[in-house]
């Protein structure tokens, strides 16, 4: 089912649909579509198709379906689980030309966007109406709205607005036989059967190509206060995070950086954190980055809550103006880039129940080292959501042993957590999905997949184990 050598007639048909400039087969032009952001996942493709609208997408998918050519939908290619690249010679359908931002519906506080619109462009588009997209993440300049729905992306504001699925009030998609399903009215109350938007959210390109999305928007909270808080132990940081969630009504983000990751990002930035004791990267120090956002200045509310933490916090730096806030955020937002500059990590993106969070953070380094004694775990994440990013590097920036992934994910499952908090399953965690999903659930997933994609042409090596 991989594309292999493509028949000339298929190429001609595709060129007549999307235009010859948007059917790429020269390896010099296609190779960038075949390697993921982390460089861990790389394949090859004989064909990249770049449709300009939904009708072109549908016609192109119909041609691929007739020729039984498997296809990987790709947006910004910032996914971190190997789901966006052709690992078995599939064709790639790039959504980047589906980049139309429709007029903001100010009465409904909603907007319909092409799947290929980047988050940054979407945000800029709705900001002019005093509104914002509820999901924000550091890959905003490249990640697309379609990709974010397909992965049910999380990011830094989930504790306030929920993840991407929560934002979706309408969807348009092309199914495996080229059928277009479109339900974009955006009615807040609409109980007319199955919710295809919810189903496609988190489907990772396995059920359809999302072409347009209608999102619910949120009033901009223009006044911001940001605090970087330093702690001596994980438990202190976890206890403080729970207290901030309870006491700060305007809490907008609550992120954590643990010592190893802080050491890497500080070295990358060439700046020491303004508070806390950064050791050699192997100690228990922890930092929380808390941001409050409201219509009126939330600094008193955040400041009072931080005062209440006096027994736990070692030191605190508070920033109010955009420049100072950006300098604090740099210690969190640049971690992924800093790690990538040091090597090719294995990325394990997990959620723990609140009661097991500190135990996990303190216990996981031993679990990693038991699987690969040279491996280095680097931890950070969206602590307000119980979401820890465990990045693991091998010696000299090499990849760690594969056994690390299974060991960490089994540990997560044993503690009652999820093996994927926000990045998805992709190709990276497919063989571990059974840790969180029962046989009955996997069978139901398989039945849905076969109903919507009977020939198994959409992203065949992603999310679902082969026997599901
Ligand atoms: P891609 O990488 O192109 O694709 C991802 C998956 O979606 C693939 O399985 C692909 O087949 C499928 N897909 C893409 N577009 C479509 C479509 N239109 N229809 C159907 N399927 C489609 N993620 C978070 O959740 N939270 C974060 O905080 C976060 N921060 C990040 C920071 C950095 C620096 C980087 C590099 C990544 C980060 N990510 C984060 C991961 C990534 O940005 C998200 O997964 C994002 O949603 C992917 O969007 P994309 O357009 O790049 O999708
Ligand atoms: C983040 O929260 C992203 O910064 C990326 O989800 C996490 O690099 C990672 O593992
Ligand atoms: Zn994240």
What is the per-residue pLDDT across 85-110, written as a single tens digit (0 to 9) for each?
999 999 999 999 999 999 999 999 99
Residue percentage of the chain with pLDDT more than 90? 96
- What average pLDDT score do residues 367-388 get? 97
CA of 407 to the centre of ligand 1 (A): 25
pLDDT at 3: 56
Residue 468 CA to residue 453 CA, distance in Å, equals 13
Residue percentage of the chain with pLDDT more than 70? 99
CA of 234 to the centre of ligand 1 (A): 29
Ligand 1 in contact with 417 (CB < 6 A)?
no
- What average pLDDT score do residues 332-347 get? 97
Q: What is the number of the ligand 2 atom nearest to the C-alpha of 332?
A: 4
Residue 327: C-alpha distances to residues 186, 210, 270 (Å): 38, 36, 12
CA of 309 to the centre of ligand 2 (A): 27
pLDDT at 407: 98
- What average pLDDT score do residues 396-422 get? 97
On the question of pLDDT at 256 being above 90, the answer is: yes
On the question of pLDDT at 1 being above 90, the answer is: no
CA of 29 to the centre of ligand 3 (A): 30
Segment 35-73, tens digit of pLDDT: 999 999 999 999 999 999 999 999 999 999 999 999 999
pLDDT at 269: 98
Q: What are phi and psi of 85, to 5 degrees?
A: -120, 150
Ligand 1 in contact with 70 (CB < 6 A)?
no
On the question of pLDDT at 4 being above 70, the answer is: no
- What average pLDDT score do residues 292-297 get? 98
Ligand 2 in contact with 151 (CB < 6 A)?
no
Segment 171-210, tens digit of pLDDT: 999 999 999 999 999 999 999 999 999 999 999 999 999 9
pLDDT at 307: 96
49 CB-near residues (< 8 Å, 6+ apart): 14, 18, 22, 23, 24, 60, 64, 91, 92, 93, 94
57 CB-near residues (< 8 Å, 6+ apart): 51, 93, 95, 98, 174, 209, 211
pLDDT at 468: 82
């Amino acid at each position: 089912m991989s594309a292999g050598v493509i028949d000339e007639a298929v190429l001609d048909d595709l060129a007549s649909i999307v235009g010859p400039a948007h059917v790429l087969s020269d390896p010099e032009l296609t190779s960038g579509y075949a390697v993921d952001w982390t460089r861990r996942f790389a394949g090859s493709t004989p064909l990249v198709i770049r449709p300009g609208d939904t009708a072109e997408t549908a016609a192109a998918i119909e041609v691929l379906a007739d020729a039984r050519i498997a296809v990987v939908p790709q947006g910004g290619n910032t996914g971190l689980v190997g789901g966006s690249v052709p690992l078995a010679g599939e064709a790639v359908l790039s959504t980047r030309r589906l980049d139309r931002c429709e007029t903001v519906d100010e009465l409904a506080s909603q907007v319909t966007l092409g799947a290929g619109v980047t988050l940054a462009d979407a945000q800029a588009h709705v900001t002019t109406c005093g509104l914002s997209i509820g999901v924000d993440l550091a890959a905003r300049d490249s990640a697309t709205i379609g990709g974010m729905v397909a992965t049910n992306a999380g990011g830094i504001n989930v504790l306030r607005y929920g993840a991407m699925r929560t934002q979706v009030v309408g969807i348009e998609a092309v199914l495996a036989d080229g059928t277009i399903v479109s339900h974009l009215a955006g009615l807040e109350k609409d109980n007319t059967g199955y919710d295809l938007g919810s189903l496609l959210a988190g489907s990772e390109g396995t059920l359809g190509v999302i072409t347009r999305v209608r999102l619910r928007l949120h009033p901009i909270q223009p006044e911001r206060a940001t605090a970087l808080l330093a702690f001596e132990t994980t438990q202190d940081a976890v206890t403080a995070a729970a207290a901030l969630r309870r006491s700060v009504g305007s809490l907008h983000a609550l992120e954590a950086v643990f010592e190893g990751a802080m050491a890497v990002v500080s070295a990358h930035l060439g700046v020491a954190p303004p508070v806390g004791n950064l050791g050699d990267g192997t100690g228990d120090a922890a930092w929380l980055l808390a941001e409050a956002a409201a219509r009126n200045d939330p600094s008193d509310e955040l400041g009072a809550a931080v005062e209440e933490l006096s027994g736990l916090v070692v030191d605190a730096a508070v920033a109010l103006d955009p420049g100072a806030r950006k300098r604090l955020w740099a210690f969190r937002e640049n971690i992924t880039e800093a790690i990538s500059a040091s090597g090719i990590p294995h990325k394990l993106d997990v959620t723990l129940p609140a009661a097991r969070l500190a135990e996990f953070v303190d216990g996981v380094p031993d679990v990693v080292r038991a699987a690969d004694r040279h491996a280095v775990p680097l931890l950070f994440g969206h602590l307000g959501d119980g979401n820890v990013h465990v990045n693991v590097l091998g010696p000299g920036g090499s990849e760690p042993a594969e056994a690390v992934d299974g060991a960490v994910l089994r540990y997560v499952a044993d503690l009652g957590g999820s093996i994927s908090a926000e990045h998805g399953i992709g190709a990276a965690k497919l063989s571990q999905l059974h840790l969180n999903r029962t046989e009955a659930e996997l069978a139901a997933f398989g039945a849905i997949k076969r109903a919507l994609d009977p020939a198994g042409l959409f992203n065949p090596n992603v999310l679902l184990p082969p026997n599901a």
